[in-house]
Structure 1
Amino acid sequence: MYRVMIIDDETSARRLLQVSVDWQSFDMELVGEAASGIEAINIIDDLRPDIAFVDISMPFMNGIEFTQIAKMRYRDLVIIILTGFDDFEYARQCIRLQVVEYMLKPIVRQELTEVLTKIKENLDKYNTRTQEIGPDITPSVIGQITQYLRENFTDSSINLTSVAQQFGFNPSYLSRKFKQETGESFVEFLIKCRMERAIGLARTSMKMFYTANAVGIPDPNYFGRCFKKYSGISYSEYVSLHTSQ
């Protein structure tokens, strides 16, 4: 079954895509969504989509910027650019980035069905998914990787694929071995490193925007969600709690 991801800063647009199609009839499943390109880059390694719907106009990292990064790291990823009429010529810059389709908003169900039919036919015919090959990963190598993450988590470009390439492993293989050895997914460990630093900075009353950049998550909205999930309260609440003590 082909895995589908939706990347759009408009909640209503993401919901419309979710309900407009009988995904199973195309042998597809929705595996996740993101409200910005930066959030997508941070979670795409865990989701491992085959297909991504990408809005061209998003804050902090627009659709073209996301596509440039994604196509360098995931050559087989099928990208469908979502664009408003006024942005259509701008969207055509993605031609050189091997974007498969462009769709105008608001999305028309019939057009979406036609696009998905064509994509499924192409994937069925030309599916060249990477076979999982590579040397065995020992606990000592996982230790080297966790240490590397502790020392470099402030780099916002770090993700599973870039680390796997650096250490010479297949990303999917590394993902499974990392979870087996540490009990946490790669993304969970990386977020933990970032949030531990963020909590330290919050105690100094640093503004959230600066903390987000300092820990490698320059999208403050995504950072805010990560911080609340990790600490149980919002960044501003955490700052207020510790400055009042």
Structure 2
Amino acid sequence: MNRKYRVMIIDDEESARRLMRAAIKWDLMNMEVVGEAASGIEAINIIDELRPDIAFVDISMPFMDGIEFTETATERYPNLVIIIMTAIDKFEYARKCVSLPVFDYMLKPMVREEIEQVLEKVKKKLDAEPDYWETVKKEADIVPESFYASTDTDQIIKYLEENFTDSKLNLASLAQHFGFSASYLSRKFKADTGKKFIEYLTDLRMKKAVKIAESGVKMYRAAAEVGIPDPNYFSRCFKKYTGVSYSDYVAGKVG
């Protein structure tokens, strides 16, 4: 049975993300675009939910560029296939900086035929390997719960409350810290708290953001203080949490 590979596009240019979605006949390649991110920061926050097999990563992004994202991601997700996208003037920079297991480098603007050629190579690689995310899930399922008994959810929550302002904190890094598999931790956390990990983490950050907003602090400062230094992603999280934009919330409290 053929596996359907999951693709994530990480680029701060919405037009570039939209073009890549539209240019490739993903279904014919047995692939699907499961999500996008406009910065490395946003990608780190949502990657555990998306569980991509392949990530196209722009090298030049604000707040966490493609190099920093790649360093973080390859440590936490060793089987993730990363394809760096870069403009020609950044190409040698990409080559020199990424002494990491990057699958390929592609020059922007990218050509559809070249993308398809690279994806065919990726597909051959992945076809020859076991399904990483499914393997992680199965391994978590067969580990006895007693193996993890020394760490309870209160300890995890205490750690989150002390470290939620770390912009690189996500499910994978938390699991590594406590010696869990990410799949097990995700299941345990939801069962014990009633919330998905990312929802709980975002709530912690937004509660602090609301308090900061009440003092009239500029959005970019509030974003950095709560661990989401990408103001666009922070803005979306804040509006989802409060129902209003950050500026409107500040105006209502301070005005």
Q: TM-score range by the shorter chain?
A: over 0.9
1:30-56 per-residue CA deviation (whole Å, 9 max, x = no partner) reads 111000111111111211111100001
- What is residue 168 of structure 2 aligned with on the other side? 157
Moved more, 49-58 or 19-28: 19-28
Say which of 64, 67, 75 aligns to 1:64. 67
- What is residue 239 of structure 1 aligned with on the other side? 250
Stretches of structure 2 that go unaligned for 5 or more consecutive residues are: none
Shift of 1:188: 0.7
**Change beyond 3 A, Cα 1:174–1:116:** same
Q: For the residues of structure 2 that align with 1:35 and 1:16, how far apart are their CA atoms?
A: 14
Say which of 48, 72, 77 aligns to 1:74. 77
Q: Cα RMSD between the aligned structures?
A: 1.8
- What is residue 103 of structure 2 aligned with on the other side? 100
What does 1:136-175 correspond to in 2, within 5 Å?
136=145, 141-175=152-186
Report % sequence identity: 60
- Are 1:44 and 2:47 an aligned pair? yes
Shift of 1:162: 1.0
Say which of 193, 204, 226 aligns to 1:182. 193
SS of corresponding position for 1:5:
strand
Say which of 215, 220, 225 aligns to 1:209. 220
- What is residue 120 of structure 1 aligned with on the other side? 123
Moved more, 88-97 or 183-192: 88-97
SS of corresponding position for 1:195:
helix
Give the number of aligned pairs: 244
Runs of 4+ residues over 4 Å off in structure 1 = none
Q: For the residues of structure 2 that align with 1:30 and 1:176, how far apart are their CA atoms?
A: 25
Q: For the residues of structure 1 that align with 2:46 and 2:11, how far apart are their CA atoms?
A: 14
Contact 2:67 2:98 in 1 (8 A): no
- What is residue 16 of structure 1 aligned with on the other side? 19
- Are 1:35 and 2:30 an aligned pair? no
SS of corresponding position for 1:61:
coil
Q: For the residues of structure 1 that align with 2:230 and 2:109, how far apart are their CA atoms?
A: 26
- Are 1:85 and 2:88 an aligned pair? yes
Quick one: which amino acid aligns to residue 125 of structure 1? Answer: A
Moved more, 213-222 or 124-133: 124-133
Quick one: which amino acid aligns to residue 96 of structure 2? Answer: Q
Quick one: which amino acid aligns to residue 55 of structure 1? Answer: D
Quick one: which amino acid aligns to residue 194 of structure 2? Answer: G
Stretches of structure 1 that go unaligned for 5 or more consecutive residues are: none
Contact 1:135 1:169 in 2 (8 A): no
Q: For the residues of structure 2 that align with 1:95 and 1:236, how far apart are their CA atoms?
A: 38
Say which of 181, 206, 209 aligns to 1:198. 209
Shift of 1:127: 3.3
Q: For the residues of structure 1 that align with 2:251 and 2:47, how far apart are their CA atoms?
A: 33
What TM-score results when the alignment is normalised by the length of structure 2?
0.90
